Structure formats: structure tokens, C-alpha cells
Structure 1
Amino acid sequence: MDVLITGGAGTVGTAITDHLADREAYDITSLDLEEHPDPNVESVVADARDTETLRSELEGMDALIHLAHVPMDDGGPSDQEIAWSDAHGENLRLHANAIGAAVDADVDSIVYASSNHAVGLYEVENAPEIYYPDSSVDLMVDHTVQPRPDSMYGSEKVYAEGLCRLAADAHDVRCYALRICAVRDREYDHPYGDAERAVDNGDFERGSDAYETQVARLKCMWQSRRDHAQMVDRCLQDDDVDYDVFYGVSANDRRWFDIDHAREVLGYEPQDDGDDERWASRPS
């Protein structure tokens, strides 16, 4: 299977290629602003907003994994202000061009990197209590809920999910919207990752209340790199879905995102759990 990944050299892209690029089933091309580090991946250094290049690279591809995203200074996940920005507009254009080009190239499937922020207000309304095992909040967010974006970033993800639905319903392209929770770089690929990264950045000290809150949250939200790659693999190998939404999260005991739907439809079987006993203390 020939697969193009936009933004393939980033955190999520390398999580996929770390586990799939050496498989005989896949010939993977990364289209990104930087060279892909894996020798098993063909690297095209280009901007995904370059429509001509994107369309050229999609020719003959079986699938598109669309991860590319223009960084936003305003309107990110912690900002609930409703306001237009140039970066927001660039992302809307990027997603429309990428999904439209994939349709025109007659790919079989599109895997889109959506986000938990498409339904992020559930967390906003219940944080931080929802992060802890003794929480009184009884919540499970599944594929049937209405979108509840927590930001312009989340609204952008809902927009691209809509484009995927249009591609599926009007153009017979199988589309998989993965509402990714928390995939991290290799060195932070564990439930203490966000807290440890913040310590490394000098944001707070290890053992502080802020540190413990970050750990509690990531033990809910974490999707290990190998679990994310498995979910993408299951999407690429699927022949039955027209359009569907799945939550990119490991089998964390305290998660509030459903994975039963992904298990039943895709055969997703996550190997990791943020509350596994090996994560009882910070990795040394």
C-alpha cells in the first residue's frame, strides 16, 4: 500500500513510521517542511500548503494520512475566544486542499488527525476533578456525541471532520477521523511525559501541585506511540468503514473517551494503560 503522510516528520508522524515504515505492507512517503529521519520513508521536503506539489505526490497513492497543521499563536486549545486569525484561515485552506486533492487522486482512504479538542468542552467543564480515580464525574465521550470544540483550534478540527464526511458521502472515499488525545515524542512517551517536559522547560518543579496535575491528566489522555500506530494500521487495513470517528487513546483506566467502538469496528487493541503498575512512579 502506497501511503502519503502530510506532516510526517513530526511527533505523530514519527510515531506512525517508527512502527509501520519497515513493514512490507507499506511504502510510506512523508511530505513535510523537514527531512524525515527514517531511511524506510521516502521524504519530500515541501510545504503541504503547496497544492501543486501535494497533488503531484498524491498521484498513485492508496491512502492519505493528513497530519499537517499550521502553528497558531492565538486560538489554541486553552483559548476559548472566538476570533479569526491568519493562521486559522491557513489551516482551513490546508485541510480543504489536502482532502480535496486526495479525492481527486482517487485514494481509497483518508486518515485524518483530528483532536480531542473537537469535544474539549467536556474536559473544560469537569477539570481537574475528572483527572483523578476517585472522581465523582461519570462521563464517557463516544463517537455519537455532538462536537463541542473548546477553541478555534478545536473548531478547525470539526471543520476538517466535516470535509472528511463530505469526501466519504459524496466521493466514496473511506474516511477515519481520529480524535487524538495525547501522543508524545519518544523521550516523553509515558504518563509523566507532559510533566517532565514542563520541568525540562523550567515551567515548574518536579513534585509540585502543577506537576502532579499534569501527571493525573496524562494518565487519562495518553496514547502511546505504539498504540497510535496500531490504530492507524487498523484504519489503513480496514475495508468496511465509510466515515467514522475514533478516539486516539490507550486503555487508560481513568480515561473518559470511548475505545470500545474502535475495538469493535477496527479491531484496535491498545497495549498500554497510564495506570499500569509500571507507571506507579516516575520513570528513572
Structure 2
Amino acid sequence: MAKRKVLVTGASGLIAGLLLPAFQERYDLTLLDVRTTNRLGQEIPGIQIADLTDRNRDNYRHHFQGVDTVVHCGFVRAADENDPDQRFWAEFANVQMAYNVYQVSWEEGVRRVVVASSNHAADYYEPLILDHKMDVVTPDMRALSDNYYGWAKEAYEHLGFVFAVGKVNAALAPGVQQRIGHHGGATILDRAQGRPLENVQIRIGGPRETDVANCPKGDLRCMRRALAAYISQRDLQQLFIKSIETEDIRDENGVPFQIFYGVSNNPHAFWSIVNARKVIGYEPQDNSEVRFHALVTEHIRAAQEKERQGTQKPETE
């Protein structure tokens, strides 16, 4: 049986690096990035160079032909992340790149795009939860962020929904239809009727093993956030694989669009994964409290010691 053809953008990045070991066993992969090495300078075999911010999609269109699913992990980083102006324009480029990925995927008849979004698409709510003013954030709540990174993630989530509805390309000009009509995938009739591009946005939490340890000892607020956000590598892989392979991802109105939070089975979690369990059968195997139980104990003891010292009355002569 032929393997499913999957294209991965940003293939030298952190998230792709966590996914590729599982993907390489299951899929016929095309790997794209603007460089062939990861952040450590290690060469990633099989990457082809493509700049997906280029508005001329013909320069990379051939990579998308015959592809079943695109996993979009591509990301433009500001040269100086301390400069708000540079951060905005970098994130604006990320929104433009998402458009290019959606549009060329639609033009080439790709069935589905699965996007590495982020919990930061709705990170405005997080301090409210940690201050006990809210209890949980669900994917159907309005996405609100207080920074350009989160704003961009929400922007290409919403842009993905636009493509999933399928209306935007319904009136594609005849000349454009003719130009792309010889490529594989959807027919001209599909395009004229506005074929939807199936879309899954995964709001990844904390895909690291270091967040709990990096909290200052006794900082229970930081610890709670780290425990809530944690997602193990195998749970991240499962979430993406099921987002690729589940046949029907339509919502209650028939739109093939979903937002899933990417966290493990964490008791401290304040992002809901109910819909991921229901729609694609996501069953995370790991639990941050179990995984980091020794560190949790250290944090609790340190917090208790700080409290004890704070309640001690100074000695008087």
C-alpha cells in the first residue's frame, strides 16, 4: 500500500524535529525550509530549499503537486526580537506565508493543511486563569492575544477557516483557472464551486522537558503553568498524525475546520482538549504531574519553606 504523501514546511525547526521521527515511518515526505540545518547546526537530510514567503507561488508549486496533506511549521523570526517594529513585520510575513501555503495547497488539490499554531493565539486569558479569574480556555472562545506572535497565530487560524469554508476561490478568474487547470488535484469545476481546503490548527503548549525545572524553586504559579502546558513528544506526534489521518473533521455546520490544543493528559491543564478527544480520538499517554513528580515535590517544599520563613517573627533582644 502506497504511503500517504505529506509535505512539511519549516522542516529544520523545533516542532518539525519532534514530528519527523514518527512521520518518516508512516509517510512519503517532502521537506521544505530556507535552510538545511537546525538551530544546533546539524544537517537535516532530505530538506529542499523553498522560500514560501515568495508571492510567486510558481517558484515552489511543484513541491505541492500530488500531496495529500501539508503540515505547516514554517516560521519567520525577527532579526532583533527586542525591536517591536521588527517583530511586527516578521509576524506579518508569517501571515503572508500562511496565505501562500493555503492558496498553493488549494490550487494543487491538497486535501488538508495541518498548522502548527500556538497557545499564544489566546494567551491574553492565561494570566486571568493563573489569577483565578477564569478556569479554562476552549478552542471556540474568541482568540485574544496581547503580543504580535499570538496575533499572527490567530490571524492564520482565521485565514485557515476562510479557506475551509471555500468561498474565497469560488469566483476564480477564468484565466487563472486555465493557468492552474493542468496541475494535479481538484478539477476546474471544483475550483469554480469553491472547493474547501480542510484545515486543522494545533495550538501547541509546551513541547519541552525543561519548563518545570526552569521555574524558580517555590514559584508555584510558574510551576502550574509549566505543568498545564506540557506536551510530550509522543503525544505531539499522535495529535498531528490523527489530525492528518482522521477522515471527517467537519464541525457542526459542515465546515472542515478544527482548532485543537496541544497538551498532554495534564491534571493542571486549563486548555480544553475535549474536542480533540471527540473529533479525532486524541488520547494523550503522558501526564505532567507523573512525569515531573520529583520536581513538583521540590517546588512545593521550597514554597512551604518560603512561607514558613515569611511567617516567622524576627527575634527581639
TM over 0.5: yes
1:252 aligns with 2:252: no
Larger radius of gyration: 2
What is the distance in 2 between the residues matched to 1:255 and 1:265?
Answer: 19
How far is 1:207 from its partner? Answer: 5.3
Q: Structure 1 residues 41, 245: CA separation in 2 closer, same or farther (over 3 Å shift)? A: farther
8 Å CA contact 1:220–1:254 kept in 2: the answer is yes
Higher mean C-alpha displacement, 230-239 vs 83-92? 83-92
8 Å CA contact 1:17–1:41 kept in 2: the answer is no
Counterpart position of 1:94? 97
2:75 pairs, out of 59, 69, 72, with 69
8 Å CA contact 1:220–1:256 kept in 2: the answer is yes
Counterpart position of 2:303? none
Q: Structure 1 residues 69, 83: CA separation in 2 closer, same or farther (over 3 Å shift)? A: closer
Q: Mapping of 1:34-183 within 5 angstroms? A: 34-35=35-36, 42-50=46-54, 51-72=57-78, 85-127=88-130, 129=131, 136=132, 139-170=135-166, 171-183=195-207
Specify the SS of the correspondent of 2:25. coil
Structure 2: state its 5+ residue gaps: 167-194, 250-255, 297-317
How far is 1:217 from its partner? Answer: 2.0
How far is 1:72 from its partner? Answer: 3.1
What is the distance in 2 between the residues matched to 1:117 and 1:181?
Answer: 8
Specify the SS of the correspondent of 2:60. helix
Specify the SS of the correspondent of 2:66. coil
1:280 aligns with 2:293: yes
What is the distance in 1 between the residues matched to 2:149 and 2:199?
Answer: 20
Structure 1: state its 5+ residue gaps: 130-135, 185-189, 199-205
8 Å CA contact 1:219–1:275 kept in 2: the answer is yes
Length, aligned pairs only: 254
1:220 aligns with 2:228: yes
Give the structure-1-normalised TM-score: 0.79
Residue type of the alignment partner of 1:279: F
Q: Mapping of 1:224-235 within 5 angstroms? A: 224-235=232-243
State the superposition RMSD in angstroms.
Answer: 2.9
Q: Structure 1 residues 163, 74: CA separation in 2 closer, same or farther (over 3 Å shift)? A: farther
The percentage of counterpart residues that share the same residue type is 27
Counterpart position of 1:236? 244
8 Å CA contact 1:75–1:152 kept in 2: the answer is no
Indicate the structure whose relative CO is greater, using CA pairs within 8 Å and at least 6 residues apart.
1
Counterpart position of 1:33? 34
What is the distance in 2 between the residues matched to 1:148 and 1:74?
Answer: 24
How far is 1:282 from its partner? Answer: 4.4
How far is 1:73 from its partner? Answer: 5.9
Q: Structure 1 residues 214, 124: CA separation in 2 closer, same or farther (over 3 Å shift)? A: closer
1:14 aligns with 2:33: no
What is the distance in 2 between the residues matched to 1:236 and 1:19?
Answer: 13
What is the distance in 2 between the residues matched to 1:40 and 1:236?
Answer: 23
1:268 aligns with 2:282: yes
How far is 1:238 from its partner? Answer: 1.3
8 Å CA contact 2:212–2:227 kept in 1: the answer is no
Higher mean C-alpha displacement, 85-94 vs 108-117? 85-94
Higher mean C-alpha displacement, 254-263 vs 65-74? 65-74
8 Å CA contact 1:124–1:150 kept in 2: the answer is no
